[in-house]
Every structure is written in C-alpha cells, then in structure tokens.
Amino acid sequence: MKRAASWLLALGSVAASAAAQDAALTAAPTATTAVSACVACHSDPARVQRAEAREPVANLADDIHAQRGLSCHDCHGGRPDVDLAAPDAQARAHDATAGYVGRPAPADGPAFCGRCHSDAATMARFNPDARVDQETKYRTSVHGERLAKGDTKVASCISCHGRHPGGEKSAALAHGIRAVGDPQSPVHPLNVAATCGRCHGDAQYMAEYGIPTDQREEYEHSVHRAALVEKEDLAAPTCNDCHGNHGARPPEVESMAFVCGTCHAKQAELFRQTKMKPAFDEAELGECIVCHGNHGIVAPSDELLFHAPLAEGEAQTGCYTCHPDASDAALAISTAVHADLGALEGRIAEARATLADADAKGMPVAEAEYELTGATDALVEARALVHLFRHEPVAEACTRGTKVADSALAQGHAAIEAFYFRHRWLGVSLLGIAFVVLSLWLKLRQVDRRWRASAPAGPAAR
C-alpha cells in the first residue's frame, strides 16, 4: 500500500519533478559536512540490505568531493534532512520533486558531472584555476561521439575517474573518486596507461571497433614509459599527453608533428621546414612516427640513419625503410650525417674518459669538464638538425662540437702529462733534498767534532 502510494505520488507530481530536477541540476552544491539522512541510511545494513547500495557511503572518505565538503544530495538531489523514523522517509528522501536523481543512465553521465565541472562559478569555489571544458571536450572525443550515438560501452567520466575495487578489469564505481594528483587515482600520470589499457588492451572488448589493442604493451617498452616510471619524471608523456584526455582521439596524420612537437619543439619545427613534410602529408604518412614509431617509441639512435647490411630476416629501419636502394642519394646524406655524429660522439667519449683519468689522478679538470658540455650540446643540436635531412647543418654543428671536444681532450692529456711530470719532479726534488741533507749532516759531524775537541769541559751556568 505504501509502495503504491509512493508511485501515485511520484506520477502525480511528474511535472513538478521535472522542474525540480532542472533546479537541482543548476543549483550550486551546498558543501555541507553535516551527516545527512542519505549517509545515515545508506551506511546502516538494517535499513539498506544491498551491499551495492551501501558502497557509496563506504568509499566517501576517499572521495575528493566528500573531502571538499560535498555530500550525496549535492549530486543526487533529494531531501537529506528527512526524519528517518518517519514511515515515508525513503519516499521523501528520494522525492523527484526535490530534484532526486538516482543512478544516472550511462548516456547522462557527462552531463551529470558537468553540472558542476562545466560551471566556472561553481568550480571557482573549490579551485579558482579549475578547467571547466571537460564536458565540451568530451563531446568532441571519439568516446563522446560514440556515446552520443548510443554506444554505452565507450568510456565516460566514471570509467576513468571512478574506483575499480576489483582491479583493472573490474567495473568502475562512481564513489571514491580521488583527486587527479593522488597517486592512487586511476588518472594519475603513473596510472593512466593502465586505465586506458583496461579497455584498449582488451581484445575481446575492443573487437567490434577494429583497432589494435597492443598499444599499452608497446608503451610499456617505450622510452616515454621509462622516463615516466623509471626516472620518475611525471612530465614524461603517457596516453593522454598525445591523444588528449577528455577530448581523446587519435592524432591526424597532418598534425602528428604538432603533437610530438608539443615537447620536441625543435625537431618538429625543423621537420616542418623540409620538403619531407608535404611529401609525407601527400603520402598520408604519420610524420614522426614513420621513423620513430608511436606507442612503442624507443630512444632514438644514430643507427636510424645508417644500417649495416641486414642479417637474414632482419627488418629495415630508419632511412632504409623508405630508401632501400643503396644508390639512393638520400642514403649518401644519411651515411655522411651518421659518420659525423659518430665521430663527434666518439671524440666526446674519448675526452670524457681522458678527463676522468686525469681527475682520478687528482688533477683539477673541472674547467675542461665544463667546457666539454659545449661539445655535448653541439651533439644534441646536431642530432636535432638531422630532422632537416641535409648534411651541411649537421656537419657544421659537429665541427663546432669537435673543436670543443678536442680542446677538452688536449686539456685532459696535458693534465695527465702534468701528473707524471710532477712525479718525476718529486723524484728529482727528493734526490736534491736528500743530497742537501746528507751534505749538511756531514758538515754537522765535522763542526761537532771540531767543537767537542775545542770546548772546555763542564756544563754552562743556567
């Protein structure tokens, strides 16, 4: 009877409910810390038997929203101040006319979160610098576009920001959302690859989309991941740095150099100056990734420019991938560039080893070591200039670097020579000192004998 009455009440007030929901959607959160009826009820197993229904309150402590003073009704509406002892407490609390929204449908998730996160005035209360374009961006993402078309398998807010108590593969739970900077947040830089990989690494889940599912596996072996995880450089790129996060989509072929150039600005700028750029665009080649790869990008090596004769079954790499003909003029450039870079690198290594040897011998070579950093800078510059695909600029930088390395090397040799000179000098000095001491001692014996022979007996007065 009570249940029927509740339904009748709800049906009867449908118009009022729609208006109230609109009001709730636009109302600013109240940011209260008082224990609401929602929390009291949903934490009480006697009132709420389903564990799933108690989960929101159980994880409230970890939730950034709760930590900022928000409570259930700030998102879900309803009446948080009902008297739980009243027989119609649940109906009053869950009253749609009071703006109550239960679990939003997947398609409504972005709008549900966007009520606050797209509202600059609301967000400014918690973080004056907070972004409010997440929902807008999401609508432009592949995820957002597919969701709009009714594909509810795609990721929305909770998929990435929610909690996955059962591990990577478990379903996302909306409560217990941590701050992005929290190392336990699934969208913390160290966890992003795992979060994206939860879906994108699942071949069965992704089967209907026809896209590869080995991105995460490739990324795990990449130089970017090594920088992020092993060097603990949180600025190193993970999935969202190249694909975007809320507006995630694969970069277009023409914009690849811009994406990589976000960090590798010099290389991207140089590449855009070359005739390779329009040629790549025309051939619909993905610029940087053609030579360097994408998800599994490894540390670039000078070997990309030159490859010794391949072993049986070995794949071509670098320039040879597109220029396999040995008589190709482009290979003459890459071979010359490779030789220049190798020569400079070798000279720097030789200078560094010589200076280390001198340093181990206790010779002061700090100035030369500092000078050698000029050669390393030139090598870095020369490697960047490779992206011009011309020999002259690289040769010029390498020549400059070699001069510096030669100077440091010469200082290292001079220091080592000085070390041995000092030892020879010490030997000669000690011989000279020994000779003088011996001479003085012989003279002393002589004068002592003369003195004792001539001295009167008996001690002198004190």
Partner 1 sequence: MTSSSPAPESPRSPLQRFLDERLGLASLRALLEHKTVPEHRHAFWYVWGGMVLFLFLVQVATGILLLLYYRPGAGEAYESVQFIVTRVRWGWLVRSLHSISANLLMLALLVHLASVFFLRAYRRPRELTWVTGVGLFFVFITFGFSGYLLPWNQLAFFATSVGTEVPRAIPWVGPFLVKLIRGGPDVTGATLSRFYGLHVAILPATTTLLLGAHLYLVQRHGMSVPRDVEEKGPPMPFYPNFLLRDMIGWFVALGVLVTIIVLAPTAPMGALFPFDALFDPKHLLELGTKADPFASAPEGIKPEWSFLFMYQTLKLLPAKLAGVDGETLGVLGFGAGAAVLLLVPFLDRGASGLPPNAFSRVGGAVVVALGLVLAGLGTWSMHVLGHPLGVAGGLVAAAWIVVSVLLDGRRAGRRAGPSLLFPSLGWLAVAFIVVMTVIGRIS
Asked whether the beta carbons of 59 and 173 are under 8 A apart, the reply is: yes
| Helix (H) or strand (E) run with residue 391 in it | helix 391-454
- Residue with Cβ nearer partner 1 (36 or 354): 354
Binding mask 262-291 for partner 1 (x = CB under 8 A): ------------------------------
Which residues between 418 and 447 bind partner 1 (CB under 8 A)?
Answer: 422-423, 425-426, 429-430, 433-434, 436-437, 440-441, 443-444, 447
410: contact with partner 1 by CB under 8 A:
no
Q: CA angle, corner 217, sides to 212 and 219, nearest 5?
A: 100
Strand partners, 173: 163
Rounded Cα distance between 186 and 192, Å, is 6
152: contact with partner 1 by CB under 8 A:
no
We find the least distance from the C-beta atom of residue 32 to partner 1, in angstroms, to be 45
Q: Token match 């490859």: residue? A: 307
356: contact with partner 1 by CB under 8 A:
no
We find the least distance from the C-beta atom of residue 447 to partner 1, in angstroms, to be 5
Q: Count of residues binding partner 1 (CB under 8 A)? A: 33
453: contact with partner 1 by CB under 8 A:
no
- Residue with Cβ nearer partner 1 (7 or 441): 441
Asked whether the beta carbons of 33 and 73 are under 8 A apart, the reply is: no
We find the least distance from the C-beta atom of residue 439 to partner 1, in angstroms, to be 10
Which residues between 177 and 236 bind partner 1 (CB under 8 A)?
Answer: none
We find the least distance from the C-beta atom of residue 410 to partner 1, in angstroms, to be 13
Rounded Cα distance between 160 and 197, Å, is 11
Cβ neighbours of 78 (radius 10 Å): 24
Tokens of 399: 């020549």
- Residue with Cβ nearer partner 1 (124 or 356): 356
We find the least distance from the C-beta atom of residue 376 to partner 1, in angstroms, to be 19
459: contact with partner 1 by CB under 8 A:
yes
We find the least distance from the C-beta atom of residue 436 to partner 1, in angstroms, to be 5
- 214 backbone dihedrals φ, ψ, rounded to 5°: -105, 10
Q: How many helices (H) and strands (E) does the chain have?
A: 25, 0
Tokens of 247: 């507006």
What residue spans of 118-183 are helical by DSSP H?
120-126, 134-140, 142-148, 157-161
- Residue with Cβ nearer partner 1 (326 or 356): 356
- Residue with Cβ nearer partner 1 (210 or 458): 458
363: contact with partner 1 by CB under 8 A:
yes
7: contact with partner 1 by CB under 8 A:
no
Q: CA angle, corner 331, sides to 330 and 335, nearest 5?
A: 125
Q: Which of 165, 181, 346, 364 touches partner 1 by CB under 8 A?
A: 364
Q: Is 48 exposed, middle or buried (0-12, 13-18, 19+ CB in 10 A)?
A: middle
Strand partners, 163: 173
Contacting positions for partner 1 (CB under 8 A): 360-364, 366-367, 422-423, 425-426, 429-430, 433-434, 436-437, 440-441, 443-444, 447-448, 451-452, 455-462
